[in-house]
Structure 1
Amino acid sequence: MTVIVRAEVLQQVIDQMLTVVDEAIFRIGYDGLAVAAVDPANVGMVELEVEPGAFESVGDGMFPIGLNLQRLDDYIDGASGADPVTLSYQPETRSISIEHTNVEVEMAGIDPDAIRDEPDIPDLDHSVDFTVNAGVFRDSVENAELVSDHVEFEAAVDDKELVVSGNGDTDKIETVLGPDELPEANFDSDATSMYSLAYLVGGSKKGTKYKGLLKPLSADTDLQVEFSEEHPIQMHYEFADGFGHVTVLLAPRIQKR
């Protein structure tokens, strides 16, 4: 049971999963790769799939294995870009062999039963959805971080604008994204919802264990965003030439009335 995948594809998987957890169950083989996890506080969730077309070889088998993400990240650190990384499952030792460049590693796996079950991403019917350049969206969220530890998204149907704001004790900052920044936008109703900056961009002011759900995205990624009034925000994007699919979900911070 062996697969071969480009280093840049595997790196994107690791980087995105590290935004919510330290370890996860990888299901790898003839169907490609699938992994999903929710953070310990049940606030941030990631579901990720990579189709077989992103692999150099997928073999005939399929195996689930629990892996420590930081160790895996360290072990492929010497590979980059299109460098092939070979992953071979050793069922008798419940381990995985990793080969790339001139490196060979035998990495112990984690019993999948010892890892928290993969979450099911809920099927939500949102009133607001739009497509935005990931770099533009991340910049607007990071602007809010200048004054606050949370960000508010306010969608206005009449103006077809999204106002991204941070409200501090004394200061307020707003970034307005209009039709030029949101080329594909559907606003069925006005909606306002608030989310934690620590989960979105890492909360650099106060520090956080994980680095932020938006951090792994390259600036030129097309990001599809969906949210409703005080509902979880869902974000979707593709990588690996369209063979990789990611869904990210973040629970809202409910405002006191």
Structure 2
Amino acid sequence: MADAESFQSAEPSTDPDSEGLHAIARAETLQQTVSLVGALVDECRIQFGDEGVEITAIDPANVAAVGLSVDRDAFEAYDADGEVLGVDLDRFGDVLSMADRDALVELDLDPETRRLHLHVDGLDYSLALVDPDSIRSAPARDDLAYDAPAAVVIDESGLARAVSAADMVADHLALAVESESETFHVDAEGDTDDVSLTQGADDLVSLSPGDARSLFSLDYLRDVTREIPAGTDVTLELGTEEPLVLSYAFADGAGSVEYFVSPRIARR
């Protein structure tokens, strides 16, 4: 896996010249996909594989990465053969924002012009794609994962409350789990004020206790938590001065997303 300071890029292993893509999905599913990845990057590679969509991307500062997948079952129609598209997420998101969440969006690739055609609610839009080779590649999700000693499952509102409270006093926060007391801790220390939150197993959806403590930038935690759908259970995997792995399901369980956030190394 990447070290605690930053994640390193890997060379792409996919073939951007393969042809054939036709897919239909609910606008909400595509809107969520774009917003979840767009929390960290402005453009990305989208791979339309046999089993569905896969995206991995890393932020420009090498601090955070995202891995996202959407099963082909989430699509009303899905015909793809490994096509890899380079997409400007802002432009893609702008088109999708014009659709009602329950509307069906049809995606068709013109293999000659390398333009993606979107059809929704009577609107036809031709989206110019980005050369996939020009987009910075990210490590595979398996390379980012590690055997974290502790895991916490917390509801979205509880996590948002902790991040918001810490944001009032500091620009970073510590996440910790204590195995002996079986408690989860959130601490933020500012120049003048401090915030702390302690929760036991009864306060959480679940807790797999192990000793863990790491410090994280609030800028990144705000980015990766602001798009979590209301009512979602979020899993936090933690180590000591190890990346945070934050994951949850979306699109009625047909989609999953993992964020990997490198810690700030505490001064001793």
TM over 0.5: yes
User: Of 214, 221, 226, which residue of structure 2 is paired with 1:193?
Assistant: 214
Distance in 2 between the 1:73 and 1:253 partners?
A: 31
The secondary structure found in structure 1 opposite 2:242 is: coil
The residue type equivalent to 1:124 in the other structure is Y
Distance in 2 between the 1:82 and 1:255 partners?
A: 46
Distance in 1 between the 2:264 and 2:147 partners?
A: 19
Q: Which has the higher helix share?
A: 2
Question: Shift of the alpha carbon at 1:181?
Answer: 2.7
> Contact conserved, 1:136 with 1:219, CA < 8 A, in 2?
no
The residue type equivalent to 1:53 in the other structure is D
The secondary structure found in structure 2 opposite 1:200 is: helix
Calculate the TM-score normalised by the size of structure 2.
0.88
> Contact conserved, 1:2 with 1:29, CA < 8 A, in 2?
no
Question: Shift of the alpha carbon at 1:64?
Answer: 0.9
Question: Shift of the alpha carbon at 1:62?
Answer: 3.6
Q: Report the RMSD for the aligned CA atoms in angstroms.
A: 1.2
**Greater Cα offset, 48-57 or 122-131:** 122-131
Query: Unaligned stretches of 5+ in structure 1?
Result: 202-211
Q: How many residues align?
A: 246
Question: Shift of the alpha carbon at 1:158?
Answer: 2.1
Question: Shift of the alpha carbon at 1:30?
Answer: 4.1
Moved over 6 A (4+): none
Question: Which residue of 2 is the match for residue 77 of structure 1?
Answer: 97
> Contact conserved, 2:155 with 2:205, CA < 8 A, in 1?
no
Distance in 1 between the 2:96 and 2:145 partners?
A: 35
Q: Does 1:251 align with 2:256?
A: no
User: Of 95, 100, 103, which residue of structure 1 is paired with 2:120?
Assistant: 100
Question: Which residue of 2 is the match for residue 222 of structure 1?
Answer: 233
The residue type equivalent to 1:223 in the other structure is V
Calculate the TM-score normalised by the size of structure 1.
0.92
Distance in 1 between the 2:167 and 2:80 partners?
A: 47
User: Of 78, 81, 86, which residue of structure 2 is paired with 1:66?
Assistant: 86
The residue type equivalent to 1:194 in the other structure is L
Q: Does 1:6 align with 2:17?
A: no
Question: Which residue of 2 is the match for residue 231 of structure 1?
Answer: 242
Question: Which residue of 1 is the match for residue 6 of structure 2?
Answer: none
Provide the identity percentage.
33
The residue type equivalent to 2:71 in the other structure is E
Q: Aligned ranges for residues 86-235 of structure 1 at < 5 Å? A: 86-121=106-141, 122-188=144-210, 190-201=211-222, 212-235=223-246
